Structure 1
Amino acid sequence: MKQLLFTLFILAVVPKFIFAQHSDENRSIRQLQSYEDSLVTLGKQVINNDTEMERINANQAFIKTLVNALKIPNSFLFLFDSVKSVSIINSPDNRFRIISWPIVFDDGSYRFYGTVQMNTGGKLLMFPLSDFSASIKSPEDTVNDNHKWFGAEYYRIIPVYSPKLYYVLLGWKGNTIKSTKKVIEILSFKDDKPVLGMPVFEGNGKTRKRVVFEYTRQASMLLRYVPEQDLIVFDHLTPPDPKLKEQRDTYGPDLTYDGYKLKNGRWVYIDNLDMRNVPDNHDANYIDPKKQAEIDRAMAKKE
């Protein structure tokens, strides 16, 4: 009799628990979808609004909305793939994801925003990234935390399983009205907190903690990872005239390629790579947000 009563109790209670759990999940999904719709609208405003102050205000609203969305339990599993104004990439081991994006100022300069969201399986754990670029005088020699970030919009994460696990980040960094930058960043974790930069790049008699490329804004630069060869490939940049050697905003690709080859957990510089197969130009054609704004305005006029 007791066993029968227990069975009846289980049959009565468990479905309600499952239904409640399912109902909570559906509620969270609806909330996240609503936040996503708001982020789509605000993200377009961050790029397309005509005045600098309007873009700044839209960006502040975007940040507030994003944080509220990420606070929802299990938000890490929500893709936010309709939000095209930001880069959202997961580490291949799914340990974390990075959300990053720029805002463009009227003088052609940029400021970057972002966060590292950890995969906790529930409660939010994230590390906001504060762009400290203007105060970092020697970025290739500096190790920072997330509060002193050399801002960029990332498009690739490469885990390196050396004695100490770290991640290589490939990023685009709009710079000024004259030049653009790209960066090879290193992200690691110490005491479960992010560390940016690590002395793992060897070449030309120097060890770098990150690698920064600067070139004319009129050009595109290839920077991509070739996983089959553990190789980071990039355009060799040169000035149009040797007299302009010190003016990095005149540099551009000269149709040759250099790279960094992974050896024993470190990246060794290789010049003049033999590229028999032309690499994928997807990374080189990364669209400047200001150019994207012009495209969006043109499309709006047609509609």
Structure 2
Amino acid sequence: MMKISGWIGLLGFGCWLMSARAQPADRVTMETVQDSLAKLGYAIYNEPSEPERLKANFAFVKALVSALKMPNSYQFGFDSLKMISILRSPDDRFRIFSWHVPLNDGSYLYYGTIQLHTPDGRLKMYPLLDKTYEIESPETVVTTAANWYGAQYYRVVPFGAEYILLGWKGHTAQMTQKVIEVLTLTEEGVKLGKRIFEGDGTQAQTRMIYRYSQNARMYMDYDDRENRIVLDHLAPADVREEGQYEHYGPDMTYDAWQLRNGTWVLTPNVRIMNPATPGDDQYNDPQKPAKHPKSGLSAP
């Protein structure tokens, strides 16, 4: 069901993007569409039936693409869509939409798109197609928009002409992930991943993936004062569970990826000024819609 439903959603996204026609945009129309999207978004996370959640998501994708096809839609904030993440790059070059659909087996499907800020207000976007279960070695490959290791992003960090994305990735009923990856926008499209991580055995990695217990909470965010990414150090509760990531969680110490000469260098056991709190973990709990992050997530 998961793979079939995922392909139906992906095909729907692509087909609707090709068939939707631009219409004159006005705020009343956009707000009407936003109201419909908000209702569909609520259903995605709260319908008890998985087929109904997938149906609501399919309608959500179609309505969102239709809205984005309207001229100058980039200027409309979609501030009522509190159930998905909408992030603008610091230079306002693009914004990225990302969200997930929870499935009954505890896994997730991911959806997203990157909308560019165009001078004439016309739509230019790159749909992100989740291929999580087809990517054999996500830590060591560079992917594209059509071959996305899905995640729900909560931070965009400038990185020269590129961008660092921090994302939450609920994965299974037992294990959650967080992801650090590089986004590169080119004339040909989107690239995700780059070998810029210098740590213990990480030189070949194109993205950092942190795996831990679904019952744990991991802090990971960008510290702009120190120009570094600070994160909980993860470890198993018992040394006999080494490598069994569903048993990993924070051990009360922190590591940091520090930017040095265009490379992110891992520094273990760093001190941080403001210790993390339980509210720092930015993700959408399907059972707690009131706690969903708002559009354009603020710093935790």
Do they superpose with TM above 0.5? yes
Aligned to 2:245: 248
> CA shift at 1:30, angstroms?
1.2
One-letter code of the match for 1:189? L
Residue 103 (structure 2) aligns with? 105
For 1:125 and 1:261, the matched residues in 2 are separated by: 33
For residues 242 and 229 of structure 2, what CA distance do their matches in structure 1 show? 24
CA contact (8 A) 1:185 1:211 kept: yes
1:63 is matched with 61
Please, which of 202, 205, 210 is the counterpart of residue 206 of structure 1?
A: 202
> Structure 2 length normalisation: TM-score?
0.86
1:62-81 equivalence runs, <5 A = 62-81=60-79
SS in 1 for 2:280: coil
Contact residue 174 and residue 288 of structure 1 kept, 8 A: no
Contact residue 128 and residue 145 of structure 2 kept, 8 A: yes
Aligned letter for 1:233?
Answer: V
Partner of 1:18: none
Identify unmatched segments of 5+ residues in structure 1.
1-23, 297-303
Matches within 5 A, 1:170-189: 170-189=166-185
* Residue 47 (structure 2) pairs with residue 49 (structure 1): yes
Q: State the distance in 2 between where 1:288 and 1:42 align.
A: 16
Question: How far did 1:55 drift?
Answer: 0.2
How many Å separate the matches in 2 of 1:187 and 1:282?
26
Q: Is 1:146 aligned to residue 142 of structure 2? A: no
Match of 1:194 in 2: 190
For 1:193 and 1:140, locate their aligned partners in 2 and report how far apart those are by CA, in whole Å: 21
Q: Deviations over 1:174-201 (max 9, x none)?
A: 1111111110111002225110001111
Q: TM-score, normalised by structure 1?
A: 0.85
In the alignment, the residues of structure 2 paired with residue 94 and residue 43 of structure 1 have an alpha-carbon distance, to the nearest angstrom, of: 25
Contact 1:238 1:254 in 2 (8 A): yes
Aligned residues between the structures:
268
* Structure 1 or 2: more helix by fraction: 1
Of 151, 158, 165, the residue aligned with 1:169 is: 165
How many angstroms does 1:289 deviate by? Answer: 2.8
CA distance in 2, matches of 1:263, 1:169: 18
For structure 2, the 5+ residue unaligned runs are 1-22, 293-300
* Bigger relative CO (Cα 8 Å, ≥ 6 apart): 2
Q: Which has the larger radius of gyration?
A: 1
Note the C-alpha offset of 1:290.
Answer: 2.0
Q: Please tell me the root mean square deviation across aligned C-alpha atoms, in Å.
A: 1.8
SS at match of 2:225: helix
1:267 counterpart residue number: 264
Residue 236 (str. 1) matches residue 233 (str. 2) = yes
Deviation of residue 130 (structure 1)?
Answer: 0.4
The amino acid across from 2:149 in the alignment is: F
Conserved? CA contact 2:178–2:211, under 8 Å: yes
Q: Distance in 2 between matches of 1:191 and 1:255?
A: 44
CA change 1:293–1:282 in 2 (3 A) is closer
2:115 pairs with 1:117: yes
CA distance in 1, matches of 2:157, 2:284: 23
Amino acid at match of 2:164: V
8 Å CA contact 2:90, 2:157 repeated in 1: yes
What is the alpha-carbon distance in structure 2 between the residues aligned to residue 279 and residue 48 of structure 1?
A: 29
Q: 1:45–1:55: 8 Å Cα contact kept in structure 2?
A: yes
CA distances 1:25-64 after superposition (whole Å, capped 9, x unpaired): 8x61111111100000000001101110000000000000
Report the Cα offset of residue 265 of structure 1. 1.2
Helix, strand or coil: the match of 1:290? coil
> CA distance change for structure 1 residues 295 and 258 in 2, over 3 Å: closer, same or farther?
closer
